[in-house]
Structure 1
Amino acid sequence: MNLHQLRFVREAVRQNFNLTDAAKALFTSQPGVSKAIIELEDELGVDIFRRHGKRIRGLTEPGRMILNSIELIMQEIDDLKRIGKEYAAQDAGSLTIAASHTQARYFLPKIIPAFMQKYPKVRLSLLQRKVEDIAEMVLLDQANLAVVTASVPEIEGLVTLPCHQWEYHLVVKPDHPLNDSRMLTLDEIAKYPLITYDRVFHGRNRIESVFEQRNIKADILLEVIDADVIKTYVELGLGVGIIVGTAFDAERDKNLRSIPVGHLFGTGRSSILIRKNAYLRSYIYAFIEMISPNLNRKLVEKALAGEGSDYEL
């Protein structure tokens, strides 16, 4: 048994069981991949793949268990390589961050410039993705960590660390009557057309349910997936907007006013996702602490090792 065989099995699965594509991805020959996989199956005494003629069609039951073990082995090997690289160059390397739109657009721009100034030798990549795709990227080691606005369910193999809290804000024009209200009520807001998130956004259901619980009909004029679009149409005078507070920037949004409405629609918590037992280089711990000072290296290491699960902001 050797590492090449393990790599070939993993890549065959990643390439949707196409050995030709797997060979291309690994810069080798298709017959060589096929031969190595058969030799591994002979050594283990079980079939890893289901076959139809010369083509493989999927994993067998033992094949699924073998793949899980291979993924763990390859992750450990990748971590060994990272350890060597870190001690060879303490302040150089790469950092890949997967982020939801709100984090990539509004929150991380406050963090990334300072990080790059402190670690100029680190090559940083920011990948904006849908929340449902982000967790898989971290699990597959395509990203070192992820930052998401929405709360995510517990996912096996991932550690979720809260990094900052937010509340909903109402955005209006500077001369809007709601600016004069000391404590906004749902009845006051419902007098105006609403511009808010599309139903694909995690908080849309919460906004609607608040109105429904009070038997107040909300006049939702426009539904979008981008807070910048919401602010654009509020600025045009078409209605009032409800957005995540993180998405409002007083300097950029000088033609609008933001009114906190967490007392009506509640608060949320953004989180950092990291693969359990992942090896993180020193500058990645530094980046995490820049996002949230409470997440110091000692606490993150304990979380990655599975020691405790309750982390306060």
Structure 2
Amino acid sequence: MELRHLRYFCAVAEELNLTNAAKKLFIAQPPLTRQIKQLEEEIGVTLFNRHPRGLTLTPAGQYFWQHAKQILSKVSVTIEDTRRVAESGKIVFGIGFVPSVFYGQFPTMVRRLRQNNTAEIILYELKTRDQLDALKTGKIDIGLGRIYINDPEIEQTTLLQEPMLVALHKEHPLASKTITMAELAKLPMILYPAGQSPTFADICIDLFSRNGLNVRIAQQVNDIQTALALVASEMGFALVPEQVKRMTRDDVVLVQLEDKSITSPVICSRRKEPYSEIMQAATQILDELVENQKNGRYS
């Protein structure tokens, strides 16, 4: 089996039409049909169900497609990182993050790791689910997010539980007091991020549903910055992690919840493999920064 077989298969799996896939690959349809048939014969399974008007993936085909995409992505990342190493002579260390964790201590980790002359630090803004995919392909080496996703190839560690705050317009009637979840349920909510579950938005909705409360979603947006801008426009409230206090707006206040047990985790994701020297350094820095944050010390 060659990489071109995987590329051909992925193109057909995406299009579910041999004619369209052949056009996408800039090859004729008959040789593409032969290559797919040869791939199925080599593996010993049927990857596609053939229908008069197109194709569908078999269960085996679905499984193979998922892993074929990871293999191709891994190859692409490996080539890109090899070129970087050749140019800089440094190890490539990728960090994935959701924006809300970078308002607190974690930029310090990046700054300190960049002082290591043997490593080139590359940052990627990624949702937690995307971080896990990026870890598997080698695009990143560590991910910082807020969602637990069970995956046998990935280890996830909770670094800390961060208190949640309520973002309100500064002139809102509730802006000067602690707030209950029941009071919030009566207000329109700005939810973030948009996209495939699970996300931080799911955590926020679950906080209400666990208390038997429904909440009215006024708007769902992609990021926390946009959510705060809509709060400033008096469109509703947003739930935000405590770290956001370090990024202030004059027209938005952050108010404590009456229930202090309502928190959001900060989760570190890594591949299940022995730690490299740079990973050991990153882990040590993270442990130190988390301890600082727990004790109210900020670098």
TM-score, structure 2 as length reference: 0.60
Write the distance in 2 (CA, Å) between the matches of 1:132 and 1:108: 20
Structure 2 residue 263 is the aligned partner of structure 1 residue 267 = yes
Kindly provide the CA deviation profile for residues 51-110 of structure 1, in whole angstroms up to 9, marking residues without a partner as x: 98xxxx899999999999999999xx9xxx9xxxxxx9xx92112233334346766444
**SS state at 1:202 partner:** helix
Q: Give the superposition deviation at 1:50.
A: 6.7
Match of 1:116 among 114, 117, 127: 114
5 Å matches for 1:35-184? Answer: 46=44, 92-103=90-101, 108-119=106-117, 121-129=119-127, 131-149=128-146, 151-173=147-169, 178=174, 180-181=176-177, 184=178
TM-align CA RMSD = 5.4
Amino-acid identity (%): 10
**SS state at 1:167 partner:** strand
Q: Give the superposition deviation at 1:169.
A: 0.1
**SS state at 1:292 partner:** helix
5 Å matches for 1:154-233? Answer: 154-173=150-169, 178=174, 180-181=176-177, 184-186=178-180, 189-190=183-184, 193-198=187-192, 200=194, 201-209=201-209, 212-213=212-213, 220=216, 222-225=218-221, 226-233=223-230
Q: Where does the alignment leave 5 or more consecutive residues of structure 1 unmatched?
A: 25-32, 82-87, 296-313
Kindly provide the CA deviation profile for residues 235-291 of structure 1, in whole angstroms up to 9, marking residues without a partner as x: 3455544223233325x43554323327267112121222223x5431133223333
Paired residues in the alignment total: 276
Q: 1:9 to 1:48 in 2, by over 3 A?
A: farther
Equivalent position of 1:287 in the other structure: 282
Kindly provide the CA deviation profile for residues 159-179 of structure 1, in whole angstroms up to 9, marking residues without a partner as x: 112123212101235565545
Write the distance in 2 (CA, Å) between the matches of 1:48 and 1:58: 11
Write the distance in 1 (CA, Å) between the matches of 2:236 and 2:60: 58
Q: Where does the alignment leave 5 or more consecutive residues of structure 2 unmatched?
A: 27-31, 80-85, 195-200, 291-299
Equivalent position of 2:83 in the other structure: none
TM-score, structure 1 as length reference: 0.58
Aligned letter for 1:263?
D
